[in-house]
Each structure stands twice: as C-alpha cells, then as structure tokens.
Chains A and B, each alone.
Chain A
Amino acid sequence: MSFLNPFLLFGSLALAIPILIHLVRREKSEIIPFSSLMFLLKVPKRSIRQQKIKNLLLMALRLLILALLVGAFARPYLTQPAKPAGNNASANRGVVLMLDNSYSMRYGNNFDRLKAEAQKRIDSMRASDRMAIIAFNENATLLARPTSDKNALKAIVDTLEPSFSGTRYYEAFTLADRALSEFAGDQKQLVVISDFQRNGWNRSSRESIIGTDVKTETVNLAVQNPNNVGIDSVSVDQTSFTRTYTGRVIARIHNYRKDIPVDVQVSVALNDKEMGRKTLTVSANSSALAEFTGFDLQLGFSKGRVHIDSNDPLKVDDDFLFALERREKLKLLIVDAGKAKQSLYLRQAYTSSPDLPFEVSVLPASAVTPEEVTNHEVVVINDVPRLPDKVRDRLDDLRKTGQGQLIILGENAEPGWWNSYAKFPVKAGPRIFVAKDRGRPSVALTTYDRNHSIFKPFEKSTRVVLNSAQFFAYMNVEAKPGAVVLAKYEDGSPVIVESSKEDHGMLVFNSTIDSKWNDLPLKPSFLPLFHEMVRYLSRYNENRSWYALDEAIPVVAGLESVAAAVIDPKGGRQALGQLTAGQVKFFTPTIPGFHELRVGPDTRLVAVNPPSSEGNLDTMPPEDLLASVQRTQGESQQAGLFGTEEKAEYARRQMIWWYLLFIALLAGIAEIYIANQSYKAS
C-alpha cells in the first residue's frame, strides 16, 4: 500500500484535536458545590454508560470519518498488483543480481564479500526460480541470462573479477530493467550488491527506470570511514625538445580520510628508473601537490610512473602512468629578399628560447634551391619579389607531402609574378598606405576566425589581443574561390588567407614583419600568432600524456593511407584497420597501462589510468539510489507505461479511495442517526 498524495496524510493529525480537547477539558473540570447528589446518584448507571457509549461511538464515528477522508484524499493504492500471481509467495521468482565490479571494489576484501553475498543469493533460489546476473562498472554487462541453473550461476560469480573502471549505476539499472522484463508473470526481484559509491550516480539523469512491481533489495558492502590515499591526477608537459626535461610533472595526492592527515612518499620513475622522491603530508580530506622536473630524457617516448607508498587497502590508485616524448625540433626555413635585418623579427620569434621546438635557417630567395626547401617541415617566404620556378613547383609538390608554407607579401613582392602563380590562394592588388589611401593613421586587425587553431592563444587570454597592433600599410589581396579568409583589417580587407582544402598547407599574410608597415613585431600578440601559424602548418600537435580508462583515444592518420593498430599492456594487438589520409579513429582502452598506437611507421605511446574518482569511497544511502531509479505509480501513469489491461489493473488498485469515501458516507449517515437520537433523548 502506498499513497499518491502522501503529504495529505499530515491531515490525520487533526484526529488528535478532539481527543486533546477532551483530555484538556477533563483535566480542567471545576468543582461545583451542589445541594445534594441524592437525585444525581439515583440516575441509573446503565443510562449514563449508554450515553457514554453513545458519545464514544459518536466520537469514534467522527474520527473515523475524518480519518477516512484524509485517507481517501491521500489517494492510496496497492503497490503490488491485485493479481494473485504477483503477490503469491509461492509464485516463481525472477531475480536480477546486480554485482558491482568497479575498481573501488578492490578495497580490502570487498570483492570477496560481494562474491559470498552473490553465492548466498544463488543458494537461496528455489528450483522454479530464475536468475540473471549483471556485472556493472562504468559499463554494464549481462553475465548470465535468466536461468535456474545454480551451478552455472555460481561458476559465473566465481570467475568474476573486479575491473579497473569507475561506477555508473544508470546503465546498470537500464540493463537490469531489460533483464527483468523477461520475467513476465513472475515475482520480480532486484538485488544490488555494491559499495554504493556516491560519484557513480549522476543526479541529473533523473529518470526512473525500474518498474513498480519489482521488489528491490540492497546489500551495502561499503566500509565505515574508509582509509584511502590516492593519486588524483598528474599534470605533465608531454613533449620535450631538449635532453633535460624542463617541463614539470605535478602529481596531485588526495587523502580521502576525513579524520587524520597522512605522510606519503611520492616518487617518479621513467622507464622503471626512479628520477625523484618526495615526502608529503596530506591533511584530512584534502590534496597536496608533488612536483618533479630536471631529469634526463631519451629520444622518443618514455614510460613515466608516479607512485605513492601508502598502507591503504586500495592499491590501484597508488600508481599513475604518463608518457613523455622527447622530439627533434621542427625544421623551419625562412626565405627572404636578402635585405639586411629583413628576417630579424621572424628569426628572433622562433629562436628566442632554447625550449622552443623550432630549428631555424634563413636563405635569400636567390640562393634557395628545390633541395633546400625539401629538407624542412615549414617554409616561410618572407616578402620576396618572386621565386625561381623550380622552387615554386617543388613547393607545390611538398605541400602534398605535408609541408607547410607561409607566404608574406610586403613592399618587395611583385604582384604581377605572384598573380601569375596559379596555385596562389589570393589575387594580389595594389599596396595600400593607410594614411594616404584610407585617410586615417592606421588600421587594426579586428576580425578573425575564433575557431581556427592559429588564434587559440587569443581565445584563452584576455591580455594578449590581436587588435593592439597598428598596420600602416599592406598589400591589398582578394581571396580566390575556395580560399578562406582567416583574419581581416577593420576596413574589411583580408590579412591572413588560407589556401583551399584541396591544396591545403599555405597561409598568406599581407603585411611585412618589420616595424615599417606595422608595429606587430613589437606587440605581445606577435610571438603566439607566428608560433601557432608554424605549428599549424607543420601539423604538429602535442599529444596528451595520459588518458583515463574508457576514454576514447583519437588515432589520426597522416597524409598517406596507412594501417593502424593498438598494442595493449598485455601485448595483445588490436587492429584498427586501414586509415585514409587525415582520417581519425577512436580507440577505447579497457585495461590500464601503456598502450602503443601504431599508425603506419609511427609508434606513439599512450598511458591509460583507471578513473581517479573511484578513489573517493563516499557512499550514498542505497534507499536514495533505489528511490531515484524506481518508478512511482504516478510516474508510470504519466509515462504512459501501461497497456490497456495494466491501466485497468492500475485503476483497480487506485479504487481504494472510492471505497474509503463510501465508508465515510456510511459512517456519516450513522453519525447523523445516532446524534439525532441523542439529541432527541436530551
């Protein structure tokens, strides 16, 4: 029995009022001196008793009417169907066993306890009962379809292992609901055995899944005040271009205990060789950071591991893996007109720090050969009148193999020659001197494509802005069909244009890189803009140093069609098939550890860690969880989850309130009759 409007039951408190009044008045009854009780004492006791009984009956009737009305308006309904099949204790039972094998179950002997509880449930099955088993973590898996075979079920439970995944109840309950639907006509039962971690329930997914006819039971394996210290996350600068690692490895250690601080030893190792060790004191229920840097790196990928020495029962979160890569620097060729200091700002931009991933060489246009340009990943043509035809043709070919080219048009460029270059994405026009031609001192770069990766630094920072630079002169250009204007001056003329997708790999910038035509090189926006342009043209992307388990990892093909595969930590090979040029496939790891992504001849190392959120063993009351996922009658009706027969059954179960009203009516009539009799008698 349950109620659709349970709050109305508070109305039953009104029942106490007449009783209280009676008691209070009885307590306060005064003493009246009377001449003689002679006649009062002669009143037959039976008559008084009858009157008392009548009045008690009246009061009881009135209370009953009140209670019935309150009960009726609270809209009671039978939670179990009126059908004998559903309620009958001898009916066949259909049980779904939900077993939590998220990695938090590795805490102490939790998983053994889970297995024992599961075996107990299987043992208690009757011959006609059926059971399905679901194991759930981040995902839910149906381990056993409904069966009465106890041995098979036991074997499944025996072989079940805790996973390294997090907890997500919603999927598990969805699957359980599907499994329960197979028990039509049986008495449905759902048993959840878990540590009921709070972070496994996303409160926003507030949709009730489990039907009202399912009897639920929970087995809470959570331990009181769990003792756990774990590595929450590790922040790593993944790529280094120098032998000595100048980036930082910052590990965040969390003490989940709420009562006492702990001391932990934190160490970092590369390729199983310890590189540093620190001791930290982490306060109760808070985090502390351990930072490591300055160790040597070998070329290529290194396997990194942060480890803490803790004595807690959950060991999985005591290690955290990451991958580091030491790379050769990007080879960048600057071709200029050969004028003194023409490429000064550009060279400085790419060589100002030894940490920068650029190796820069500068050549005058007159000296450049097709061979010279071939050896570089990015070529910057810095305001040259023209290029030798062989070099131009070679550049066209190199773009197809992935080379990036940045063409800067300025005072030296001959518009006629550049316009004769068929694959050039813009049509060069006359030079514009802003003061003379536009009647104002300068123009600013005000409009740009905020989604393009070369403007990424300006999206993140409010201090580095593009429009601070003043442009005094530029070459008026017009984008050819297919070319994309990435940035414009405030007068609407293009500043940066990208070649079409068919001939990608070229950017055109239409003002010089010196302080004559603009003051851009003197502004803070200069370095990020030109670094990003070269990074973009080289297709150089920093990879993430680690991924979480069950997180999709992108596998990207280069410019050629190649085969891709993943080698997991156990040495298993998973082929990802043939990837066409530029195609992205996603791979989802299922076990933590170092994975090798093989894309053609390239091999990339990816570290995969279990989700650190599992280290937080805070629990939620199982009944709250069940209340969230189990439908109420009202929800079922609203959701239209009833068929015609079920609607009729549902309506039947709600009929109680009519009966209550009818009984209240009868009680009302009886009350009127008795009250009238009493009144007449008095």
Chain B
Amino acid sequence: MSTPVAEQPKNRFIDPKVLMKIQNLELVARSVVEGFVQGLHRSPYLGFSVDFAAYRQYMPGDEIRRIDWNVFSRSDKLYVKLYEGETNTRVLVLLDISGSMNYGSGDIKKIDYARIVAACLSYFAYHQRDGVGLLTFDSQIRSHVPPGRRRGQLLTILSEIDRIQPSELTEFRKPLRFLAEFLTRRGVIVLISDLYDEPENILAGLKVLRSKGNDIIVFHIMDNFELTFPFEDMAQFEDMETKRKLHVIPEYLRNQYLVILKDHMERLRKELSGSRIDYCLMDTSKPLDTGLFTYLAARSKSI
C-alpha cells in the first residue's frame, strides 16, 4: 500500500516550514527521504538501487562460485554476479555553522535548512549502507564524526547536527586543509554552506580534495532575501558574523549587490564545474528535492 505522499505528487516534497515543526531530526530525515525514495519509482533515475548487483561476463580467473548458474541455464552464457559490497562508499557531510548561516528572512533560517539537508543526506546514505560522517566548521573545525557504518552512527550524526549553534566567522581554508591532510580514503564529500568567503579560499581546499579522488557536492544554501535583496527602506545592516554596521539605502545598492552576488555564484559554479565538482544552489524558501536529486545524480556517477 502506497503512502498518501506517493499518491499525491504535488505533496511529494515536504515544505521546509512544516519540517521545521518536527523536532526529531531522524523523523524529519525519514519523512523526506522515504517520501523521496518512493517517489523515485516514477523518476527517470529508475534502476538504481542499493541492492542492485551488476553482471559481468565470466573471465578466466574468476571464482567459479560467483557464476550465476541460473543465467547460464537460461542463456548458456557464463556471467559473474557482482556483489553489493563493491558499491559501498563513504559520505562525509561538511556543514558550515558560521554566524551567517543563522540568517533567515522568514520562518526558516539557513542553518535549519542546512540541518535538514545534512540529516536527510546522512539518513539516505546510511540506509544505502554507505559510511556516513559529519564535520562542522566555521573558522575552525567544531566537531568531527568520522565516516563509518557502525550501529548508532546515524544517531550520533543526527544528535551532533541537532546540537550545533552558529556564531563565528566563516573560514574555508583552514578546515579544508585539515580535511585534505587527514582524509585518507576516497568518498563523497558534501559541503553545505552559504559560501561567504572568497572563491579562492573555497576552491583551493575543494580542489585539493577533488584531486585526491573524492566526489564533491556543494550545496549553496541561500535565503531568498539574500538572492533578491527586496529591502525598501533605508536601514542599518548589521553583519551577523562581524557585527559591523552599515547604513544602506537599498535602492542605491540593490543592483550592485545583485550583480556582485551573481558574479560570485557564477564564478563558483564555473570553477567548481571545471573541477568536476557539483554545485547546487538551494533557496531556503523552496523544498529540498533539488538538493537530493543533485546528490543522487552525483552518487550515481561515483558508482
């Protein structure tokens, strides 16, 4: 029996505001992921599954016990079954918990949105039997749960996500350098951030990680107000990280701001795609589906 969510495609993805009302992060992740997975059966990505095992023609040297005799009996050809263990990977979620992530123009803050994204991805990966890890950072690394598939790993990650409190400045260079040094095994690295740092700083670290064979997905979390700058009245804008204040007449600055922001995002997108890093802009006023699709697309590539 299908769930009501599956029966009503328009409600397939849950509004972030509704999710925010659910206190239990695991429940939130499950609601999102299961709804999403069920929806997948109708999606163009049909065919990918955690249980899928590929067949390969028998080559001399292969273990005979791996031959699938059922296939042989039907086709008189020898095929070897590839086991699922070979598709497992390690997923590390890098979550930016700098002060700017605490911004939210409406009911939902960027950090809450990022939490849900991180939780969903962790849940999703865990249940695909991938090893999942979490690293939170601002200018420093604040917490680190190494990827693993231990029992309770998901709960550890979720409780860590639940606990985070953004406050400090964003600084990509240091945490990414640390990661490049200590991450020994390849895997999927998911960066969830508003990317308020110079593109060079961001790209430098990510490129090193990429060069070590990691698949990297960047989720750029932005508030709708940051993207459109719809302010009208003159006001003092206060930087949530540095606490610096600036007299702003939005009318004067809007165009320039939007141009600079667009340049910033465009540059990131170009540079990242040039390094074969996936970039996904997420507007906190929109549902989470885009992010998850992007992740899955990247995941499929890595298989």
Contacts and interface: CB of A to CB of B under 8 A. Distances in A.
Contact of B242 (A30, A37, A43, A55): A37
Contacts of A32: 231, 235-238
Contact of A40 (B223, B233, B257): B257
A513 to B, nearest CB: 106
Nearest to B243: A33
B237 A37 contact: yes
B253 A48 contact: yes
A44 interface: yes
Contacts of B236: 29-32
Contacts of B249: 51
Interface in A624-682: 681-682
A26 interface: yes
A35 B110 contact: yes
B240 A35 contact: yes
B196 A34 contact: no
A520 B110 CA distance: 121
A584 B135 CA distance: 130
Interface in B262-289: 264
B301 interface: no
Interface residues of A, number: 25
A36 interface: yes
B245 A31 contact: yes
Given A33-B103, A34-B103, A39 B260 contact: yes
Interface string A22-62: 00011001111111111111111001100110010000000
B256 interface: yes
Interface in A227-276: none
A40 B239 CA distance: 10
B54 interface: no
Contacts of A29: 233-236, 247
Interface string B224-256: 001000010111111111101111110111111
A30 B235 CA distance: 5
A35 B254 contact: no
Nearest to A51: B252
A26 B235 CA distance: 8
A264 B251 CA distance: 84
Given A31-B245, A34-B240, A681 B234 contact: no
Contacts of A34: 103, 237-240
B253 A40 contact: yes
B26 interface: no
B100 interface: yes
A21 to B, nearest CB: 12
User: Among B110, B234, B247, which residue has the most Cβ atoms of chain A within 10 A?
Assistant: B234
B155 interface: no
Interface in A47-103: 47-48, 51-52, 55
A457 B261 CA distance: 109
A40 B252 contact: no
Interface string B47-89: 0000000000000000000000000000000000000000000
A52 B252 contact: yes
Contacts of A31: 235-238, 245
B171 interface: no
B234 A35 contact: no
Interface of B: 100-103, 110, 170, 194, 196, 223, 226, 231, 233-242, 244-249, 251-257, 260-261, 264
Interface of A: 25-26, 29-44, 47-48, 51-52, 55, 681-682
List the 4 closest A-B pairs by CB distance, nearest first: A35-B103, A35-B100, A43-B256, A51-B252
12 contacts: A25-B233, A26-B234, A30-B235, A32-B235, A33-B240, A34-B240, A35-B100, A35-B194, A37-B246, A44-B256, A47-B252, A682-B254
Given A29-B236, A32-B238, A48-B256, 4 more contacts: A32-B231, A35-B103, A36-B194, A52-B252
